[in-house]
């Protein structure tokens, strides 16, 4: 199944929204720490995390722990990044890809870019910097689930 991973997220509201998305669509979410806020139900509550108990969540202490897990699982990492080389419409997703999104403030460092199997961007109008990370996660996840026919109940 497609999964979502958040690299050192900064904003609890965005994380809560993404975890809710994962719960609603039956997608596991990974949090790669450290976070820019005290991670917990209280911080996530504003984003409607009454779904927290229904979220398949894996927390990783750091990038190394996450990348070791990815390697052991034999999974492919698709980095969603404004520095990507492939527009989202030109990638073929696989049923067990992990969609990786960077922190709101800094994205991901170069060594994470180098680790990704694909670096994908969402095309947008000229003059705009980026799409909110939770919105980008929704766009990318919807396309990946559509391509791999993994929408629940579909």
Q: Considering the entire predicted model, what is its pTM?
A: 0.92
Average pLDDT over residues 26-47: 79
Domains with residue ranges and CATH for the chain: 3-148 (3.40.1280.10)
Inform me whether the pLDDT recorded for 66 exceeds 80.
yes
The pLDDT score that the predictor gives to residue 44 is 64
Residue with tokens 């720490």: 33
Q: At what angle do helices 133-148 and 12-25 cross, to 10 degrees?
A: 20
Integer Cα distance of 152 and 86 in angstroms: 27
Integer Cα distance of 104 and 147 in angstroms: 27
| DSSP code for 53 | G
Handedness of CA 24, 28, 32, 33 (dihedral sign): positive
| DSSP code for 13 | H
Give ∠ CA 135-40-27 in degrees, rounded to 5.
45
Average pLDDT over residues 117-127: 96
Count CB atoms within 10 A of the CB of residue 40.
12
| DSSP code for 98 | E
Inform me whether the pLDDT recorded for 50 exceeds 90.
no
């Amino acid at each position: 199944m497609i999964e979502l991973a958040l690299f050192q997220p900064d904003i609890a509201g965005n994380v809560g929204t993404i975890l809710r998305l994962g719960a609603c669509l039956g997608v596991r979410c990974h949090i790669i720490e450290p976070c820019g806020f005290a991670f917990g139900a209280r911080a996530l509550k504003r984003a409607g995390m009454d779904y927290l108990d229904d979220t398949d969540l894996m927390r990783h202490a750091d990038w190394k722990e996450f990348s070791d897990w990815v390697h052991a699982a034999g999974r492919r990492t698709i980095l969603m990044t404004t520095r990507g080389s492939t527009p989202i419409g030109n990638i073929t997703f696989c049923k067990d890809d992990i969609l990786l999104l960077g922190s709101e403030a800094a994205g991901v460092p170069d060594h994470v870019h180098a680790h990704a199997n694909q670096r994908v961007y969402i095309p947008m109008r000229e003059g705009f910097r980026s799409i909110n990370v939770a919105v980008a996660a929704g766009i990318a996840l919807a396309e990946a689930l559509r391509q791999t026919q993994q929408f629940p109940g579909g």
